[in-house]
Structure 1
Amino acid sequence: MSTDAAAAKLIANERVKLLANNLDRASTACFTVGVATPLAGALYRVSGINSLPWWWLAAGFAGWLSAATILHFLARRTLTGLLP
């Protein structure tokens, strides 16, 4: 394999890994914003979250957790694009 082809493969793999890392960081942010932060606010009673109906909180948690899960699995699937 020529050095140009090897370099092109290395660059392509790094771009795939960068995209996967960005998607995984976005999934972590979704979890933090939508699940961890409201739970901490409710635990320490520093937000108005306790005044919301339980079903609204459950729907919000489910939505943010679903978004985080989807982004995480998209990141994992992106890694299948790595060149051998």
Structure 2
Amino acid sequence: MSLIENERTKLLANALDRASTACLTVGLLAPVAAVFYGAGGTALETWTFALGGGIWLFAAVALHLVARRVLGGLRS
């Protein structure tokens, strides 16, 4: 039964890591690309982008660290 539990643990860790990648893409890469290509069309201040990017980056790192912690629960 431990093989099934390990696979479920890996699946959960992968889902968390994919969520962290999505946070990084949505929160950091997309706004930077929008500003770079002039597609933003908004009058947001620089600090708003920085604050939002920082929050999304924190969420991405937190999810990634949780995924690593989940993988620590694998059984041999």
TM-score of the aligned structures, taking structure 1 as reference length:
0.87
Structure 2: runs of 5+ lacking an equivalent: none
Distance in 1 (CA, whole Å) between partners of 2:62 and 2:41 is 28
- Which residue number corresponds to residue 78 of structure 1? 70
Counterpart residue number, 2:58: 66
Quick one: percent identity of the two aligned structures?
54
Name the residue aligned to 1:40.
33
Q: Distance in 1 between matches of 2:28 and 2:48?
A: 13
1:28 aligns with 2:26: no
- Structure 1 residue runs without a partner (length 5+): 1-7
Three-state SS of the structure 2 residue aligned to 1:40 is helix
Aligned length: 76
Encode CA deviations 1:24-66: one digit per residue, 9 max, x unaligned.
00000000000000000000001124x2111111100000000
Distance 2:45 2:31 in 1: 13
Amino acid at match of 1:12: E
The alignment's C-alpha RMSD in Å is 0.8
Partners of 1:24 and 1:61 in 2: how far apart? Answer: 18
TM-score of the superposed pair, with normalisation by structure 2: 0.96
Please give the alpha-carbon distance, in whole angstroms, between the structure 2 residues aligned to 1:58 and 1:36: 12
| In 1, Cα distance between equivalents of 2:20 and 2:64 | 6
Residue type of the alignment partner of 2:30: T
Question: Structure 2: how far apart are the matches of 1:55 and 1:78?
Answer: 34
CA distance in structure 2 between the partners assigned to 1:37 and 1:69 by the alignment: 17
